Homo-oligomer: A and B are copies of this chain.
Amino acid sequence: MNGAQALLRTLVASGVDTCFMNPGTSEMHFVAALDTVAEMRPVLALFEGVASGAADGYARMSGRPASVLLHLGPGLANAGANLHNARRAASPVVAVVGDHATYHERFDAPLQSDIRSLASNFSGWYARPASVDELSASASAAVAAAYGPPGRVATLVLPADVSWSDGALVSPPAQRERPAKIDDATVERAAAALRSGRPTAFLVGGPACRADLLGRVASVAALAGARVICETLPARLERGGGRFEPERLAYLAEIAMTQLEGLEHLILVGAAPPVSFFAYPSKPSWLVPPGCEVHHFASSSEDCSAGVDALACLVGDGNTRGATRRVGVEPRPQAPESGPLDSRTLGQAVAALLPDDAIVSDESISSGLAAFVGSASAGPHDWLTLSGGAIGQGLPLALGAAVACPGRRVLALQADGSAMYTPQALWSMAREGADVTVVILSNRSYAILNMELGRVEASAGGDRARRMLDIGDPDIDFVALAAGLGVPARRASDAGELSAALAESFATPGPSLIEADLRRR
């Protein structure tokens, strides 16, 4: 058995059975080995950022790492932005980076570069086995490292000669770490805060955005009269179908500060403390109100679940069932049958029509908030956001989620500017027959930057500046673009057309794209 075959078998033995890939010459033995290891599903991407973003979406929805096959340093660089997002989402990913043969490195051939330096930016684990003897143990260690906790990107560099050499053996799965227990003193301090009668909130993130744990947090909060606030960019928020709906911390720091105003205790469960996404002149970066005590109750790599149960025992009787739906969720709207298309009516249409068990990949940036708020009243679904802030995630994430969850409809709410970072994902959706509905929120602008230009107190912005934020010259025709990549597409110019297009797409297997024309008229 050669190295590539042993690597594939080791990955499969460790539960990694999907590989998003964009291979080159150094990876040919890995590719050839796919025909001998039928358990590994290969998914081709036309660009590495699609492969890495898909692995993130796959991990968020399956809880398991996918592997990503990349071609030397430049391939890893191309995958980098979405590996950054995966890191911030604590998604387990095994990045296999094909490299030159070990003996070829000293010749500094054109594609040679320092792969380790790149990997260190987004990768929490790195190995470069120098022989087939080391390869499989490295691979099973990579999978265990990817699982964490926290989930992380594990980078395994695969020299070509290690891949093609014979005599490799398969390694069994490596032992995984368990999440650290929350100590009693931490639980007691949080309980005291909840019992204090002072204004208190949970800030939930990571694993605490999954329905079961979120419901238990909500139950404890309800006993104590505390609020439950969700981090701004949850990797996966399970919601809808009557599940508890937390408040969501706003992206805009000035609004977030209003949300947090008056709190005296903020209990972090799987979330980082609230900070501004960017710095702004004369605005604070740290959003915790003065005098508010921050309780670092449980990070996303600690045992949030057991910690919350222990807290429930101290605050109530330990019964965490019966969490109630947050007051303030509006009744489910009707889909608009006519009228202008704007972010409000788009939100209505999504809320009205979102299929049960849908998965929403939200890279809507400036135009999608109403869809999020409105769909709290929809059936059960998952909402995935841009955890790392690196745009170009939405379409790849949707692809990966669809691969992970056959039979569930994926809705990609996709800003037009961000869509253009990784439009190649559409082609993989077509090839895989992925059940993805892509809605392009087409306002022909980096609209958020037009807002940010004012928020950072940059001078009003003359014509040259505005032109750098305007993507309407020439207009991008997403219907033509999608057709070029094999995805059927149509344009919606009013709310009724959007409703009809959504309903049709949701009822049709495979991918389709709707360009929602949100230009102000």
Contacts and interface: CB of A to CB of B under 8 A. Distances in A.
A73 to B, nearest CB: 6
A24 interface: yes
A286 B108 CA distance: 11
Interface stretch (A58-66, A117-125, A222-230): A117-125
Contacts of A276: 104, 107, 109
A48 to B, nearest CB: 8
Interface string A147-179: 000000000000011001000000000000000
A447 interface: no
- Chain A interface residue number, banded: 35 or more
A98 to B, nearest CB: 10
Contacts of A463: 35
Interface string A29-56: 1011011101000101011010000000
- The copy count of this chain in the complex is 2
B32 A104 contact: no
A159 to B, nearest CB: 9
B35 A461 contact: yes
B118 A80 contact: yes
A272 interface: yes
Contacts of A475: 486
Interface string A430-466: 1100000000000000001100110111110111110
A329 interface: no
Interface in A111-133: 111, 113-115, 117-118, 120-122
Given A118-B121, A161-B279, A476-B485, 18 more contacts: A25-B277, A31-B465, A31-B468, A32-B458, A44-B467, A46-B417, A46-B471, A73-B80, A77-B81, A78-B78, A80-B118, A88-B110, A104-B275, A109-B285, A160-B278, A160-B279, A480-B480, A484-B484
9 contacts: A23-B449, A25-B456, A32-B458, A44-B471, A75-B81, A107-B285, A423-B423, A427-B471, A474-B486
